Structure 1
């Protein structure tokens, strides 16, 4: 019985591969002469006429916050950054980590643990931070943590 189920799965897989191959060959046979040539636009920029952006035109104040650098708080990529009056939340998609810092830049902790146990995560697609409740919603392919 298990062998029949495996063979059906294999047959479905082969059918899907053949269908995709057929579909891709159909698409590649399109008449390229009828494609509009004006779909791609070229924009010329004269670098000598570029004006610098003035910081004061966009921001009232700037504060530099040096984040504490510990082995567990190193960031590979700042994919998202949220700030409140007391917290800095950083989502590092490259390392799939959520880091918490206080407003002075002191490392508080990393949220969650990477792994395959029920309370661990394997992959984060994205996070959202709800300022009113200070909840962090982390979206994984199959689970949602909060």
Structure 2
């Protein structure tokens, strides 16, 4: 029995570590080290604080019920909100519902499992990624369907601007092998929806714990460098508490930052639940025991700058602050009190010094 248990543990360690079959690189000289101590994560006293600067109440007469907000983007005059049940919704900046763009369904101008949207204000259109259909669809700002792309090689999870193209991040389909997870890239022209895809996956690993679509913002930028970070799976007994943020160079990855979580024991299981990289900051949602923490890293100076425990009774991925700009964030705040369910509020924050 002891032999079986030990063998099983070794098998787990081998199976659940990230295995980047194409791009995993040994730590190289020049990689930036960022040390995140247990004390900093759990007990850090911040010089920075979140200050609410605006609130948009979506509980207004005539507004549809909103259950689970997947994504929000802010235009000059409108807010486009992607709800898992209602679809793509358009509001004014006071929170008044204007219209639904498209509708959910199986038709050629409909979508099934929307995961992300991208606002193309230059061409006055919104792009929507459909995870199930594996396409991107475009709508004008008045809600009319324009076109859908051809089928992508993978399931789209997020969309980014990259020069005059749109970068579509996808997770590979099951044909890549049992337990295999892959990250695929396609470069799409936003008006014609024509795309070119890289021939091989950018990144691959094995995991039974989650699919990539759990992490919707794996890419970001620092200066002109495109960065990539999908956190490794962690479990109790794991010894190596390190992680890597990569720099994207054409079709491969180069280690740019090594995150070293120090002073955590073998029984300390830290879970990375969500990540965003914006203007040289990495904003990470960390789960430790039964609590969740918001951690911010300054990538320019390679240091952690902020950590706070999120209120346990109100925690959800929607509450986790998401970037608008480098020092401005928003959260989705739901009414947690009373039996009557109401639409949430969008709360804007500035991250400022005390």
Partner of residue 53 from structure 1, selected from 44, 48, 55: 48
Q: Between Structure 1 and Structure 2, whose CA radius of gyration is higher?
A: 1
- Aligned equivalents of 2:44, 2:113: Cα separation in 1: 45
1:121: Cα distance to partner? 2.1
Segments ≥4 residues shifted beyond 6 Å: none
Q: Structure 1's 133 and 68: CA in aligned 2 closer, same or farther, altered over 3 A?
A: farther
- Aligned equivalents of 1:74, 1:32: Cα separation in 2: 48
- In the alignment, is the contact (CA less than 8 A) between 1:96 and 1:123 conserved in 2? no
1:83 maps onto 2:74 in alignment: yes
As a proportion of its length, which structure holds more helix?
A: 1
* Corresponding residue SS for 1:129: strand
Q: Structure 1's 31 and 71: CA in aligned 2 closer, same or farther, altered over 3 A?
A: same
TM-score (norm 2): 0.26
Partner of residue 145 from structure 1, selected from 130, 137, 142: 137
As a proportion of its length, which structure holds more strand?
A: 2
Q: How many residues align?
A: 108
1:70: Cα distance to partner? 5.6
Partner of 2:120: 130
The two structures, once aligned, show a CA RMSD in angstroms of 3.5
Q: Structure 1's 48 and 55: CA in aligned 2 closer, same or farther, altered over 3 A?
A: closer
Q: Structure 1's 63 and 79: CA in aligned 2 closer, same or farther, altered over 3 A?
A: same
Q: Which has the higher contact order (CA 8 A, sep 6+)?
A: 2
1:104: Cα distance to partner? 1.7
C-alpha distance after superposition, 1:68-111 (max 9, x if no partner): 4467622222322111231011122x326111001221100111
Q: Structure 1's 79 and 123: CA in aligned 2 closer, same or farther, altered over 3 A?
A: closer
Could you tell me which runs of 5 or more consecutive residues in structure 1 were left unpaired when the two chains were aligned: 1-28
Could you tell me which runs of 5 or more consecutive residues in structure 2 were left unpaired when the two chains were aligned: 1-6, 18-35, 139-354
- Aligned equivalents of 1:31, 1:87: Cα separation in 2: 52
- In the alignment, is the contact (CA less than 8 A) between 2:56 and 2:95 conserved in 1? yes
TM-score (norm 1): 0.55
1:1-146 correspondence to structure 2 within 5 Å:
32=10, 43-45=37-39, 47-51=42-46, 53-55=48-50, 62-69=53-60, 73-92=64-83, 94-95=84-85, 97-140=87-130, 141-146=133-138
- Aligned equivalents of 2:9, 2:96: Cα separation in 1: 61
